[in-house]
Structure 1
Amino acid sequence: MSSKPLSTMDHKSKAEDMQYLIQPRGSGKSFVFRMVTPTELIGTPNPWTGKPFGKEIRRGLGTRRLSEARHLRDIYLGEVRKLALGDAGKETFELKDAQEWRDMLANDDGSREMVLNDKVHAAAERGVPETKLRSFMRVALGKGYPISKAVDQYIDERSPGNRRGFKPISKPTQNDLRSSIKHLRVFLNDNGDIACLEDVTPTRAKRFRDEFLPNQTSPRSPHGLSHKTINKNVTLLKGMWDWAVERGITNGKYRSPWVFANSVPRAARSDAPSREDFKPDEVSRLFAATTSGTREGDLLRIALVTGCRVDEIASMRKAQVEADGSGFIIMEGKTANARRYMPVPEGARALLKARLDQHPADERVFPEWPLRASTGKVYAASQWFTRFRREVLGEETDGRLALHSFRHTWRTVARQARIPESDVDEIGGWSKPKNSSSVYDHGLQRGQLQESQELVWEQMQSLGYLSEY
């Protein structure tokens, strides 16, 4: 382990030389040793008195000479520290332990910090990793709080029904936050899981926003993250940092670094391709390269003619689907408006009903697509489609077409079919929640939506989208 001290504890200056010593008033009285009892010793046997330790240790030194009192003080301090270190091997140096130490050290006279420093050095000699000990000490001394621990606590405290009354955040938002944290830890070179909230200064936050994020590329963002995505990342991080400051998790003098001065408005990248709808011939080529009755072919076909999000379809359970395949209920999704009834065009019902019969023992309509329980998403579908699209339509469609483009294609065709905007929003889940769901009970609204969906199907046929359906 490095010889660099793990705490800020220095040797006592001459001005502090009388610490732990009391010289009672009056002549002929001896010095007294006094200190706050380390928490782990309270209630344990005191070897000098035979009684349990209380909140304070007091012991007469039997001398009026300061030099001799200092010597005895150091001896007694060493004995107390050895007693406190008696079970040092049981220390785990986990975050919860560091938080307890931070509370104890808040009003410490220095004795507890000395004990803690001894424990840490003893642990280093036993082979406890230095990175773990340094992270532990940063928290215990109130100098830092690990980002990896903070994000878990933040998400937990913003879960549904949390006792603090914080507004819950959805699963997709949690995933987006973790993605933002992942970017930030790469920026901080945090390979040992020890970066703390306090490591992010205003200067670093600005560099992260203006220099690091714009250069992060991926198959979905080959030209780097857009300004809209960057702002989303910063907003999510700011929310977590504001929470940490409010909860007192960060150092008392620390303030959120995610507050920037007003700047010049940013324009979209001129070289970044914009997302487009599928053209009829592109859909025909994709359908021709897949087979109806397979997980891939059925997923694409249902996505096109219903306008549903892919995760809404792939995660759907059979209990949500009408027995004749005429429609299904979407229970939840990306937004609060996602819960809705989805009418299925008559020409697509046979495909959906065949799905219900294809896997009788499974609860899901698409059991072949693995579902990540923690998020309710089917990541494999998007990954497959990227490879499939490139093979069929070419890599030049990167950035222009995606699996989600089927949803936007449906909306465009619906408008071309002169479908009322209210019906388009209702079917696609873009509208606000209704004040009452009684219209569904009467069956009238479902019938109207079914008529609109049939008109979209007819428009798709006339435009050539369904030639290979």
Structure 2
Amino acid sequence: MARTVKDAALENRTARQRLAVQKEPHWKMLDTGLALGYRRNQRCGSWLVRRWDDESRRYRKHQLPGQADDVQDADGEAVLSFSHAQTKARQWWQDEQRRAMGHEPAHRGAYLVSDAVRDYLAARERRGSKGVVRDRQQAETHILPSLGDADIRKLTARRLRAWHEGLTKEARRLRTGKGATSRNVLPLPEAGDTEAWRARRSTANRILTILKAALNHARHEGHVTGDDAWAAVKPFRAVDAAKLVYLTAEEAARLVNACPPDFRELVRGALLTGCRYGELATATVGDFNRDAGTVLVRESKGGKPRHVTLTDEGFAVFEALCAGRPSGDRVFLRADGKPWGKSHQQRPLKDALGRAGIDKAANFHALRHTHATLLAMAGTPMAVIAEQLGHADTRMTEKHYAHFAPSFVSETIRRNMPTLGIGGGSNVTPLSVRKVQGAGR
């Protein structure tokens, strides 16, 4: 903490009353280039601060809020003593330095987890980051109720570990209709349901990531000096290996045929482009480039636009949907002519899967997985699939789809491993094979 400077002419009101009334303040140096000034008037004086600015080659001046304690006793806010004014002057210049570096002014007093989350999400909104709405909902549901009032300088690894573990034991909430006064919850999974507990730990890790990002942002902004508390809290291991759900080519065809006409076009678009639901729902006729055979995705998840390549089949679908329509129209519309909105895809997809006899827990994102998986099975390089899906690099692509691709290892093993004669046999002939044999008679 900077020492308090002494000055017999400014320290008390009696001494200041002997100073001349003048336009130029009476200055006292506090530090190199930083000075505190007192300007006396007929009734009550005021405090000013000035600092030499090397860039502009001149002094920068600022009048401190409040007044000097010439008439009233100092309270540190509205009425400032000489000592209070020195503290305010140094704070002002620290804030000016932070602004020059692109940071927010330093937070005075306790800086809470709720402050850190608020400032972090606001910074992401300014940058145009995706997923802010979802992360804010997660924070309001899982972080702020338990940790929002905690001073981040007093957080401990023990408390954060207990909170992280507790996330796995929270009752799962179901969606409720508008105006509902209570939330429906599901009971905890059975102890032996390993997949359900894996999913819960995976969700807890994602929420921990949001909290750590907010706290790291607070550290970067200078609200706290270290990250020992949250750096020591590690995510649950081996919980992100969820089974990837995709459809075979035959199942994809059955699904398309089972969809109502308006939803069928949306499903076709997903299967033939690998685009996310939101990307398709907001696609316009002008995004379809007939000459290049591509569809422009203006806002990818990563924030960058990308051009999705269409196969001949995909080109035919978009050509039919876009022909003769204004460039600003949405490509995919509901039967009532309105755009597809948030969550409009869930119920019709579930119904179509049932009609198609597809017993898989597939959501709309599984259609994106299907597109990428079928490309991988056909030997498409991971870099090409990553480009098509809009991944920043091949790491995510390889994590999900590399094991589907033909490889030197798998081909070599199948070619060289001798037959041991222990595979057994079966008298059951697959239905599809019997049909093919009967058709040839």
TM-score normalised to structure 1 length: 0.50
Q: Which structure features the higher share of helix residues?
A: 1
Q: In the aligned structure 2, how far is the partner of 1:315 from the partner of 1:391?
A: 27
- Check whether the contact 2:285–2:329 (CA below 8 A) recurs between aligned residues: yes
1:380 is aligned, of 343, 350, 373, to 343
Give the 3 Å change call, closer, same or farther, for CA 380–211 of structure 1 in structure 2. Answer: same
Q: Does 2:303 correspond to 1:354?
A: no
Deviation at 1:405, TM superposition (A): 1.0
Q: Does 2:162 correspond to 1:207?
A: yes
Give the fraction of aligned pairs with identical amino acids, expressed as a percent.
Answer: 21
Deviation at 1:342, TM superposition (A): 1.6
Q: Does 2:106 correspond to 1:145?
A: no
Q: Which amino acid aligns with 1:333?
A: S
Q: Secondary structure of 1:340's match?
A: strand
Deviation at 1:303, TM superposition (A): 0.8
Q: In the aligned structure 1, how far is the partner of 2:359 from the partner of 2:152?
A: 41
Give the 3 Å change call, closer, same or farther, for CA 290–395 of structure 1 in structure 2. Answer: closer
Give structure 1 stretches of 5+ with no counterpart. Answer: 1-19, 25-41, 60-75, 86-103, 109-138, 161-167, 372-377, 434-461, 463-469
Give the 3 Å change call, closer, same or farther, for CA 407–360 of structure 1 in structure 2. Answer: same
Q: Which amino acid aligns with 1:412?
A: T
Query: What residue in structure 2 maps to residue 407 of structure 1?
Result: 368
What are the Cα deviations for residues 241-283 of structure 1, in whole angstroms up to 9, with x where unaligned? 1221342435x8x8563222669x73449xx973321245643
Q: In the aligned structure 2, how far is the partner of 1:395 from the partner of 1:43?
A: 81
- Check whether the contact 1:425–1:431 (CA below 8 A) recurs between aligned residues: yes
Deviation at 1:299, TM superposition (A): 0.8
Q: Does 2:266 correspond to 1:311?
A: no
Q: Does 2:322 correspond to 1:330?
A: no
2:43 is aligned, of 38, 42, 51, to 51
- Check whether the contact 1:214–1:230 (CA below 8 A) recurs between aligned residues: no
Give the 3 Å change call, closer, same or farther, for CA 396–259 of structure 1 in structure 2. Answer: farther
Query: What residue in structure 1 maps to residue 120 of structure 2?
Result: 154
Q: Which amino acid aligns with 1:266?
A: R
Q: In the aligned structure 2, how far is the partner of 1:390 from the partner of 1:229?
A: 26
Q: In the aligned structure 2, how far is the partner of 1:180 from the partner of 1:426?
A: 30
Q: Which amino acid aligns with 1:287?
A: V
- Check whether the contact 2:285–2:331 (CA below 8 A) recurs between aligned residues: yes
Mean CA deviation greater in 311-320 or 329-338? 329-338
Q: In the aligned structure 1, how far is the partner of 2:173 from the partner of 2:292?
A: 38
Q: In the aligned structure 1, how far is the partner of 2:154 from the partner of 2:325?
A: 52
1:301 is aligned, of 268, 272, 276, to 268
Query: What residue in structure 1 maps to residue 237 of structure 2?
Result: 266
Q: Secondary structure of 2:296's match?
A: strand
Alignment of 1:391-406 (within 5 A): 392=355, 397=360, 400-406=361-367
C-alpha RMSD of matched pairs (Å)? 4.8
Q: Which structure features the higher share of strand residues?
A: 2
Query: What residue in structure 2 maps to residue 242 of structure 1?
Result: 216
Give the 3 Å change call, closer, same or farther, for CA 412–352 of structure 1 in structure 2. Answer: same
Q: Does 2:232 correspond to 1:277?
A: no
- Check whether the contact 1:325–1:353 (CA below 8 A) recurs between aligned residues: no
2:388 is aligned, of 427, 431, 435, to 427
Q: In the aligned structure 2, how far is the partner of 1:188 from the partner of 1:395?
A: 41
Deviation at 1:206, TM superposition (A): 0.9
- Check whether the contact 1:187–1:212 (CA below 8 A) recurs between aligned residues: no
Q: Does 2:129 correspond to 1:170?
A: yes
Q: Secondary structure of 1:379's match?
A: coil
- Check whether the contact 1:234–1:258 (CA below 8 A) recurs between aligned residues: no
What are the Cα deviations for residues 365-390 of structure 1, in whole angstroms up to 9, with x where unaligned? 2355658xxxxxx5324444565367
- Check whether the contact 1:385–1:403 (CA below 8 A) recurs between aligned residues: no
Alignment of 1:126-137 (within 5 A): none
Q: Which amino acid aligns with 1:318?
A: V
Give the 3 Å change call, closer, same or farther, for CA 242–106 of structure 1 in structure 2. Answer: farther
Give the 3 Å change call, closer, same or farther, for CA 393–204 of structure 1 in structure 2. Answer: farther
Deviation at 1:287, TM superposition (A): 2.3
Q: In the aligned structure 2, how far is the partner of 1:236 from the partner of 1:319?
A: 36
Q: Does 2:142 correspond to 1:184?
A: yes
Deviation at 1:403, TM superposition (A): 1.0
Aligned length: 300
TM-score normalised to structure 2 length: 0.52
What are the Cα deviations for residues 160-191 of structure 1, in whole angstroms up to 9, with x where unaligned? 6xxxxxxx57313x34542442243464186x
Query: What residue in structure 1 maps to residue 329 of structure 2?
Result: 363
Q: Does 2:378 correspond to 1:417?
A: yes
Q: In the aligned structure 2, how far is the partner of 1:179 from the partner of 1:395?
A: 33
- Check whether the contact 2:270–2:276 (CA below 8 A) recurs between aligned residues: yes
- Check whether the contact 2:271–2:370 (CA below 8 A) recurs between aligned residues: yes
Q: In the aligned structure 2, how far is the partner of 1:107 from the partner of 1:391?
A: 70
Q: Which amino acid aligns with 2:275?
A: C
Give the 3 Å change call, closer, same or farther, for CA 227–197 of structure 1 in structure 2. Answer: same
Q: Does 2:287 correspond to 1:320?
A: yes
Q: In the aligned structure 1, how far is the partner of 2:353 from the partner of 2:370?
A: 19
What are the Cα deviations for residues 335-359 of structure 1, in whole angstroms up to 9, with x where unaligned? 37862342232x3444323322486
Q: In the aligned structure 2, how far is the partner of 1:305 from the partner of 1:140?
A: 51
- Check whether the contact 1:290–1:297 (CA below 8 A) recurs between aligned residues: yes
Q: In the aligned structure 1, how far is the partner of 2:233 from the partner of 2:211?
A: 17
Give structure 2 stretches of 5+ with no counterpart. Answer: 1-10, 16-36, 48-67, 89-105, 176-185, 190-195, 395-431, 433-441
